[in-house]
Structure 1
């Protein structure tokens, strides 16, 4: 397999792992094996350990002192805030809702880039932003979940806040990715994230009754840590090094497809006209935001 082929495979695997994660994480949380904040602390602590072990076998690179504060702030948005909101959101909303809302990340990044980095916004991009937000609002206000105990509007709001936090992280980390090898800053990112998360998740993690875990729940927890955290952060940089940002952006469309099919197969979600309509509006909005304008002859 050539390097581009491997990059596309890596990118597909990232979307597959994220897509499956919505249903797998929700099952662990909703069946009260681990509460959301405790799960986040466990996820980040274990992933941080894996990243630091992996870094022992990779070329060493020193981080400049001035960049440690940037890494700390990036960890706050990219690990702490977004993961806390994601797991709390997954507790209350459905996998299809959550994965559809996450596709508006490119729209949020565009708005932040325009405001913080002074990047130009075209007419098509403005229409795309409006459509994406309308789709997300329709999904939040009118969408329903298959689970009786869910609170869809609240869960969708948390997922939306998670998407905003993740988008801020992408903007913050932009310069660091060109300066350092991904593993150089990811291990620090997760270490800082772990330290910040301790007061949020310690009590919930302490309450976990490990002896009650079934083989499936054990597998699910390991999947979230190794697959949806360590694996995705390992494969993403490999894809980004070989592919254009626009190509990477298009692959986010796969997440709700994978998440939806898996959720339907597992019987934890259902599809209806509201979800399909809202998702199509969001997809159209994201397409208009990510499409490059044709150059005049």
Structure 2
């Protein structure tokens, strides 16, 4: 594996580890401190402020108008729409059904990439994606007995499918843009549009967000700081970096790693126990990612020229 691929794999691996760590933190925040819209708006506004401050010290890049439109639309799809659908999906259905749908992300990305950007599907890619998919589903099915249904599973599953598709489309439509501009340039616009869209909606139920009242405590502040700085700013900084060097299908394969990381975090804090399926699932996901991307004809072994 050359240094460009290694850089891409390292970026997407770290991003999904961070996203996985954010799962139990998000649960804590939603259960105790913020509403779903308050959560998303805080992430958007916090990330926008940080990225616009950072860009003051970064090399300036002129973004073409047509590329800016793609970045803005990508931000709406990949963050606002996808994250909002995820929140409401989990409100209506159980984590089991949501995780089952989310585990299909690599398959959706592979098929959509083949249709829209002509990414070639090879038998090796199919094997790698299926291994990663099996790894994610293995742990989900193994823990099914401990999960309860939601208030409206059909609606929740439908919203989860929409969330999956919006994330898949985001990875595909921003693939070429990611190769042209730095992550800071892209993300400052992504989170600016996200904040402009979400903050007005969150203001309607501002009083319901205990994080912004006199009841606030340090665990809420620390939790939201982690989500904004790491699970949003750093995580979404790393994804476009990875897409400079890897195919959209490859990036999506790592999505199932979030499930494994979240499970091990839950075990570490006493919310879950170690079972036989968890380490096997992690190995299958990593092996699947390796198989998908170790092809002799992989054209993404070096940066795409601007």
Q: TM-score range by the shorter chain?
A: 0.7 to 0.9
Partner of 2:178: 177
> How many residues are aligned here?
288
CA positional deviation for 1:51 = 0.6
Partner of 1:38: 38
- In the alignment, is the contact (CA less than 8 A) between 1:48 and 1:191 conserved in 2? yes
The 5-angstrom pairing of residues 61-100 of structure 1 reads 61-91=61-91, 93-94=94-95
Partner of 2:54: 54
Aligned equivalent of 1:228, options 217, 231, 249:
231
- In the alignment, is the contact (CA less than 8 A) between 2:82 and 2:167 conserved in 1? yes
The 5-angstrom pairing of residues 14-163 of structure 1 reads 14-31=15-32, 33-91=33-91, 93-94=94-95, 102-123=102-123, 125=125, 132=133, 139=140, 143-144=144-145, 153=153, 158-163=159-164
For 1:153-186, what per-residue CA distance to the aligned partner results, in whole angstroms no more than 9, with x for missing partners? 5656544432321111011111211222221121
Aligned equivalent of 1:218, options 207, 221, 228:
221
CA positional deviation for 1:191 = 1.0
For 1:237-280, what per-residue CA distance to the aligned partner results, in whole angstroms no more than 9, with x for missing partners? 55555x6558766654542222111112234446778x769958
- In the alignment, is the contact (CA less than 8 A) between 1:114 and 1:120 conserved in 2? yes
Partner of 1:290: 292
Gaps of 5+ in 2: 298-306
Gaps of 5+ in 1: none
Between the aligned partners of 1:267 and 1:15, the Cα distance in structure 2 is: 22
CA positional deviation for 1:284 = 9.7
Q: TM-score, normalised by structure 1?
A: 0.76
- In the alignment, is the contact (CA less than 8 A) between 1:41 and 1:205 conserved in 2? no
Between the aligned partners of 1:133 and 1:203, the Cα distance in structure 2 is: 42
- In the alignment, is the contact (CA less than 8 A) between 2:45 and 2:195 conserved in 1? yes
Say if 1:166 and 1:205 are closer, same or farther in 2 by CA, change over 3 A. farther
Between the aligned partners of 1:125 and 1:10, the Cα distance in structure 2 is: 20
CA positional deviation for 1:53 = 0.8
- In the alignment, is the contact (CA less than 8 A) between 2:106 and 2:255 conserved in 1? no
CA positional deviation for 1:102 = 4.2
The answer to whether 1:255 aligns with 2:238 is no
Between the aligned partners of 2:44 and 2:286, the Cα distance in structure 1 is: 34
CA positional deviation for 1:143 = 2.5
- In the alignment, is the contact (CA less than 8 A) between 2:267 and 2:273 conserved in 1? yes
CA positional deviation for 1:79 = 1.5
Q: TM-score, normalised by structure 2?
A: 0.74
